[in-house]
Amino acid sequence: MLSLGELRRAVAALAAERRGARLQRVVQHGDSLLLLTLAGGGERPAGDRCHVVLDVDRRHARLALRARPGKAPAAPPAFAQYLRAHLEGGRLADARLRGDDRQAELRFETTEGDQTLLLSILGPRSNVYLLDAADGVVGALRPIEKTRRDLARGRPWSDPDSAPRGEGGDRFEGLEGEALLLAIDAHYAEAEGAEDLARTRRRIAQALGKQASAQDRKERALRRDLEQAGRAEEWRRWGELLKGHLGSVRGGAAEVELEDWESGEKVVVSLDPKLSAAANMELCFKRHRKAQKQGERATVELGALEGRREELAALRAELDALPDEAGALAEFARRPPVQRLLGRFFPGPAAPAEPEKRKPARFRIGKREVPTRLQPKRYRTRDGLEIWVGKSDEGNDLLTTRLAHGKDLFFHLEGSPGSHVILRTEGRSDAPQESLLDASELAVHFSKHRKVTRASVHVAAVKDVSKPKGAKPGLVYVHRGRTLQLRRDAARLERVLGSRIED
């Protein structure tokens, strides 16, 4: 950061060169940098612009000039918005040091009166404050509580309680005016570039190291699988021995000693006491097959892993050999394998999620508005009539007692719980036979006995269906009606399910 002597000369240079300049634009980058575009000032024409840097980064805090302003963020932060609304168009009345510490104030004359931007360089507590004409704190670039807990918006400004500082060194001796201010920014821009370069190199090295550790863990896991695969033959042998001695193995034993009839030796076989002899035999053969597959897979993956190790080692050697040049490192970082590793171990900020498209809370059927969760499924018969099917007990109640009309037909599989099915007859008293069969198929399909090949489906007019007072949801009484004997037809069911009316 600037020393007191360097800041003193920078403030004097800005005042001499740009006093009276009009503030045309305010740009904020993050919570550490403000760029003020000034036009004219001093003896300069109104079209002569400069870009003042107010930086409060703990390592590079400074007052300087930048040759090019760069691209502004798409959405200006709140502090920048306030400055644009209240300071843009004002004129730089003065620039000077304040007190005996590294504080520079830029006073602007605006239509709302004098307002001051105060650059306070205090290491990690550096900030830019906006003060009104009465020296009251209006706002700040960084959160005030993080830099000066003794300050608050709307309260008077007070200088920090610190001992007077010495002038410090001057790294820009011999430079004056705007040349001095541009040199200050170039010096810190170079330092920031070097830090970014080192940070990028360090991040890539860390990603490569993390990947190497992941490969080590993967190899250890594959080696364990190979060790388990080494027991495959033992599992097979145990299974064969149990197969030959099933009649002599007692239940509930944790192990059993069996004679291998080929070799004549005694073999101790471990058992699961909870399983029968036959089940233990099957378990041994299952473990044998699993161990074999694990071994085969582990062998293949170890070979592939060795290739990936070599690729990673080549990347690490290439990184070590790269010169300290931003271009070379940036090109290396753009390599697909490097990008994948950086994305895995150092993911960038997540893109803002698109607002979730919510379904409307309610659904309209005709003139009646229905909550979406109670909306019935709707299908169309071969004759063009609609069939409505309830989704839940509460939906069944609403469908049968509120949505259906008196001449509509109610379908329900006799002796089985299931969804209420309504055939919308459009006021007709003689529904087509094909529509009756379509509705019957759905009544069976949406019941507990959907897999039967024949079924008795009760059909009644909705006007003959009632719900007793206090009855549980979904329960209704059918007073009249008739029974259809349905022989299930898979093609019919497929057709009517495919005719669903999407909302």
Q: What is the pLDDT of residues 203-258, one digit of tens each?
A: 999 999 999 999 999 999 999 888 888 888 889 999 999 998 888 888 888 999 99
Q: What is the DSSP letter of 400?
A: I
- Sheet with 91-97, side-by-side order of all strands: 62-66, 44-55, 33-41, 22-29, 91-97, 103-110, 113-120, 127-131, 137-140
Q: Is residue 339 part of a domain?
A: yes
Q: Is residue 184 part of a domain?
A: no
pLDDT of residue 89: 93
Q: Is residue 167 part of a domain?
A: no
pLDDT of residue 353: 44
Q: Is residue 300 part of a domain?
A: yes
Same domain, 135 and 201: no
Same domain, 340 and 199: yes
pTM of the model: 0.52
Among residues 486, 491, 468, the alpha carbon closest in space to that of 416 is found at: 486
Same domain, 323 and 199: yes
What is d(CA 446, CA 430) in angstroms, rounded to the nearest whole number? 24
Give the end of a domain, one of 345, 360, 395. 345
Same domain, 212 and 278: yes
Q: Is residue 175 part of a domain?
A: no
Same domain, 274 and 222: yes
pLDDT of residue 361: 47
Same domain, 279 and 423: no
pLDDT of residue 162: 72
pLDDT of residue 352: 44
Same domain, 257 and 122: no
Same domain, 323 and 463: no
Q: Is residue 363 part of a domain?
A: no
pLDDT of residue 341: 92
Task: Give the DSSP letter string of 5-48.
Answer: HHHHHHHHHHHHHHTT-EEEEEEEETTTEEEEEEEEETTEEEEE
What is the domain-level CATH number for residue 38?
2.30.310.10
Q: What is the DSSP letter of 350?
A: P
How does 400-418 read in b/e, with b if 16+ C-beta sit within 10 Å? beebbeeebbbbbbeeeeb
Residue ranges making up the domain that contains 121: 4-161
Report phi then psi at 423, rounded to 5. Answer: -95, 115
Q: Where does 194-293 show beta strands of DSSP type E? A: 255-259, 266-270
Same domain, 324 and 432: no
For 31, counting Cβ atoms within 10 Å of its Cβ (0-12 exposed, 13-18 middle, 19+ buried), the class is middle
The one-letter code for the residue type at 226 is: L
Q: Is residue 469 part of a domain?
A: yes
Same domain, 310 and 444: no
Low pLDDT (below 50) residues in the chain: 350-356, 358, 360-361
What is d(CA 477, CA 473) in angstroms, rounded to the nearest whole number? 12
Same domain, 452 and 378: yes
Give the end of a domain, one of 297, 329, 345. 345
Number of domains in the chain: 3
- 3-class DSSP state for residue 357? coil
What is d(CA 316, CA 211) in angstroms, rounded to the nearest whole number? 11
Q: Is residue 338 part of a domain?
A: yes
Could you read off the pLDDT of 397-410 as tens digits, one per residue? 999 998 999 999 99
Same domain, 150 and 197: no
